[in-house]
Structure 1
Amino acid sequence: MPLNVAVLTISDTRTAADDRSGNYLAEQLQTAGHQIAEKAIVPDDIYQIRAIVSRWIADATVQIILTTGGTGVTGRDGTPEAITPLLDKQIAGFGELFRSLSYTEIKTAAIQSRAIAGVANCTYIFCIPGSSGACRTAWEGILSDQLDANYRPCNFGSLLPRLQE
């Protein structure tokens, strides 16, 4: 079941030419048979992040939003603060599982990640750290299976029709 996915890179320095993380996610999604609804880059600004994600949440054709960047603890990292107020429900297990997987790769540095996920207006949102390694960890360890309608015992893709209930 192909899903329509929007990919947002959050960075003050990335451009379309050097957006390794956003490009990696878009390539993996397309390889898995999903459609890229839109791909964008936005600065580390809470209100600019919120504006574009809100537009995608309101677009009934966008089923999944993946963001990369802005999940750290430095002064400009504000993705969780931008996204959390938009969520109808949080998926706490995503951040917990992501940090657990990251720990096996980067040890205690995993604690610096504030990866989050949730649902807003029947749209799944996954906020991933900005490194290409973190995007690989999230894709290979969680998202590739959870966005695959054939993955058992359950997956987010198959739950999409039931989000409106």
Structure 2
Amino acid sequence: MTESQSNLADQPPRKIAPNPKLSGLGLTLALLAVCLFPLAGLSLYATFYGRAASRSLPVEVSLDRRTVVAPNGQGGLLTDVVVIINTADHDIPNLTVNLNGQYFLYRDSPLQKGETLVLPQSIFMTKANQRFVPGRYPITEVTVTGRLPSNARGVTEVHFE
């Protein structure tokens, strides 16, 4: 072993990673910026584009009791239903209906112009697949969303007592 190699072996290892250079004040300001920039961006977005509910969906919503075809196809059952009527002069694709903001139904096919959709309340389910039981809880709100011809989302909220 040469003399230069033995001198290197006696020295402590050099640090390869850089040392942190951020002060306490700098760290605080960086954390504030990380929290406030997204909040400011979302606030500006909401200011310029408004709420989704500001674009109304041209549908009529009502609650009723009607006879629907039984699951076996024979006869009918009198049951509580949600009735949705398309009053627009165009089809409404991507139709989503929710009861009380908790029970949902998504319809693949568009709601045709002038079509009346009769949905039994018992087919609505939560995200955890729990079915709505008519009569157990009152329906206070029905929200219907769909895509408008401008590709914007239209929303209609109907409140019941």
Normalised to the residue count of structure 1, the TM-score between the two structures is 0.22
Q: Which has the higher strand share?
A: 2
User: Which has the larger share of helix?
Assistant: 1
Larger RCO, structures 1/2 (Cα 8 Å, 6+ apart): 1
- TM-score when normalising by structure 2: 0.22
